[in-house]
Chain A
Amino acid sequence: MSILINGSSRIVVQGITGRSGLFHTQQCREYGSRIVAGVTPGKGGIHIEGIPVFNTVEEAVQFTGADVSMIFVPPPSAADAILEAADAGIALAVCITEGIPVRDMVLARRILEGKPMKLVGPNCPGVITPGECKVGIMPGYIHKPGKIGVVSRSGTLTYEAVKQLSDIGLGQSTCVGIGGDPIIGMKFIDCLELFNRDPDTEAVFMIGEIGGGAEEDAAFWIRDNMEKPVAAFIAGVTAPTGRRMGHAGAIITGGKGRAEDKIRTLTDCGVTVAMSPTKMGVAMQEALGKTKKTRK
């Protein structure tokens, strides 16, 4: 078991005929993912690398039974592509596209409210269940099948964390890159909830960054609900405060957002926090050790 995707996921790629769409389709297929269809409006009817291309997601679902969509559609049409996937009955959309305007995502998120489709991203590396299925742009080979769930706001830093986990023998159940945009689909808590219920996930590693209050929200949720050990890393302890414009951002976050605050809140809520990016794997090991002791 795993969360979100597994070996039987049937994947449609929206924007399959684009350069990166096609490249990553091939990479995912090499990893073992079942890519059953592609969608590019106006190119329906052709085959690309043996994969049938449709004009709409609806047709793709109808003819191939696709249930997961990987989206590489360029920013101006990406929000529309997400909504098209939802309308066609896709269960999970993973939107890789970087640079979607906020206004488009505000509306898309609102339309998705109450709909069953889950959205990961946009502007994210995607989701991988090691050894079974990869829906995204992460390098497959650093992952190992195992029992650690990984959830991250970052892209390449996730690869660093996963490599450290794999190097010390901690494989992963599923790794989810939720994306770093201001407006995203699944948040930390949504993933933690799934990991909490997944019998094959024993513990979770979470990677956060400075800014916003998502890590704090996750910390309180973990304290109140999580039955499995959680370790975390927060990037940006030494990041410069930098220039900013106006006061609205500071008013909304109400003092949240600094790395120190996030680390303190997470620690107070029982999360083992890695104090150095070189110690992410070690922190996970430590968190696993702690629970074994208390359980005895």
Chain B
Amino acid sequence: MNIHEYQAKEILSSYGIPVPRGRVALTSDQVERAAKEMGGRCVVKAQIYAGGRGKAGGVRLVHNPEQAHELGKELFARKLVTPQTGPDGLRVRRILIEEAVEISREFYLSITLDRETSRYCLIASAEGGIDIEEVARTSPRKIHMLTIDPFTGLRPYQARRIALALGLTGSICEDCVDFILNLYRCALEKDCFLVEINPLVVTRAGWLMAMDAKITFDDNALFRHREYPDMLDYSQLDQLEITAGKYDLSYIKLAGNVGCMVNGAGLAMATLDVLHEFGAQPANFLDVGGGATREKVAEAFKIILQDSDVKGVFVNIFGGIMHCDVIAQGIIEAAAEVHCTLPIVVRMDGSKVEEGKKLLRDSGLNVQIGENLGDGAARIVAMLKSVSGGPVTERRPCQS
């Protein structure tokens, strides 16, 4: 789960990490008022669940409250598209107004999970800023990484080594040690997948400060952090994604016209691959999870059909333990409820598969049965062709 920069900074601040003075605004009038409070000259930062905002014009320095008001109006009116948002971009619903800080040096600092070592890892660099990934690719020696042993935690001497490697000396070096130790404490106690400070700066006045901050929580740890759901900004999520989340389903919107219902992430990806192979473009995919129930299948089907791009539905479920007749019932119920006339291809495997197929055949729906993965994909492609009489899908430039 992602949170906004201003929320991340509130959390960091509670761990003794210095951040710039700031205010959150929900309207352009509030932006103006906050700018006044900061003394006129301030930084206006659009709050979205993605990075790369600076280059997209989502972070700008303004010189007076009127300018702040104008910029606020502009940002609230549009969607911000950055390399990290995907092609559709994200709506701006909150804006952070911060005091303008004179910067003398910039660094990159983050703590994240390293799958390879199965431990948390501290990453720091004296170069980078917004181009940190480029630095990591071209001159990896400039990136300092430290794997943290969960038995000992992050030790002050290790943090000092990192601070020195960044070129900090004297009292700022010791400030940086505290900064890093507090950051690790925060990452651990708040169950973060990622805490990223980019940039970490030394101000002209000689203070360390977190100028930007990103935090991603570990969704699996929500049970011990009851406060997290309240921090969620629903404006940053797709409406159907939110509905899907309520039923514990995972929904992803794509650019084509075939709605896909699959169980399990790996099989879902394989299903997208096979549709592409047969010349169809998926409109979305909905993962009903490894052990789907009838209710889940029915809800999933309804969510898929709410997407107006969907011209046909491909269901690929490897039931395993779950019986296929139950899945079939779920599909039939949902299709009847929303009066679905679109072509449907169902490929099912698992126990009671013959009963399931019979239910579908007798249902009166516009449904065909796929005997296997390839046959199912071929059938939905053929059905779409016969409906539209033309090519399966207008080949939009591959956006995703």
Contacts and interface: CB of A to CB of B under 8 A. Distances in A.
Contact of A154 (B119, B149, B266, B273): B266
Most buried by B among A75, A99, A105, A240: A240
B301 interface: no
Contacts of B273: 235-239, 276-277
A224 B164 CA distance: 39
Contacts of A20: 291
A156 B267 contact: yes
B91 to A, nearest CB: 13
Contacts of A152: 266
User: DSSP class of B's interface residues: helix, strand, loop or mixed?
Assistant: mixed
Interface in B162-221: 188, 191, 193-194, 196, 198, 214, 216, 218, 220-221
B276 A156 contact: no
B123 interface: yes
A57 interface: no
Contacts of A254: 136-137, 140
A102 B320 contact: no
A139 B290 CA distance: 12
Most buried by A among B218, B265, B266, B351: B266
Size category of the A interface is 35 or more
A4 B232 CA distance: 43
Interface in A196-248: 207, 209-210, 212-214, 217, 233, 235-248
A182 interface: yes
A160 B320 CA distance: 10
Contact of B321 (A103, A139, A252): A139
Given A110-B151, A245-B50, A27 B321 contact: yes
A213 B270 CA distance: 19
B269 A209 contact: yes
Interface residues of B, number: 73
A139 B320 contact: yes
A106 B120 contact: yes
Interface string B293-329: 0000000000000000000000000111100000000
B328 to A, nearest CB: 17
Interface in A159-216: 159-160, 163, 180, 182-183, 207, 209-210, 212-214
Contact of A252 (B121, B149, B221, B267): B121
A156 B196 contact: no
A159 to B, nearest CB: 5
Contact of A137 (B84, B132, B320): B320
Contacts, number: 207
A2 interface: no
B119 A110 contact: yes
A235 B191 contact: no
Given A209-B265, A246-B216, A277-B373, A240 B254 contact: yes
B113 A250 contact: no
Given A103-B218, A252-B114, A252-B121, A245 B266 contact: no
A160 B224 CA distance: 36
Contacts of B198: 246-247
A2 B74 CA distance: 65
A52 B114 CA distance: 40
B49 A101 contact: no
B229 interface: no
B220 A101 contact: yes
A45 interface: no
Nearest to B373: A278
B226 interface: no
B218 A235 contact: no
Given A154-B264, A238-B276, A248 B194 contact: yes
Contacts of A156: 262-264, 266-267, 290, 318, 320
B221 A155 contact: no
A279 to B, nearest CB: 9
B272 interface: yes
A152 B193 CA distance: 24
Nearest to A278: B374
Given A154-B265, A240-B86, A244-B84, A160 B136 contact: no
Nearest to B317: A156
A252 B264 contact: no
Contacts of A213: 115-116
B150 A235 contact: no
B220 A100 contact: yes
B274 interface: yes
B257 interface: no
Interface in B360-376: 372-374
A33 interface: no
A249 B108 CA distance: 14
Contacts of A235: 266-267, 269-270, 273
A243 B318 contact: no
17 contacts: A156-B290, A159-B318, A209-B269, A212-B115, A214-B115, A235-B270, A240-B400, A243-B50, A246-B51, A246-B214, A247-B108, A247-B136, A247-B196, A248-B111, A250-B136, A251-B136, A278-B372
Interface of A: 20, 23-24, 27, 75-76, 98-103, 105-107, 109-110, 125, 137-139, 141-142, 152-160, 163, 180, 182-183, 207, 209-210, 212-214, 217, 233, 235-252, 254-255, 276-278
4 nearest A-B pairs in the assembled complex, by CB-CB distance? A154-B266, A156-B264, A240-B400, A157-B266
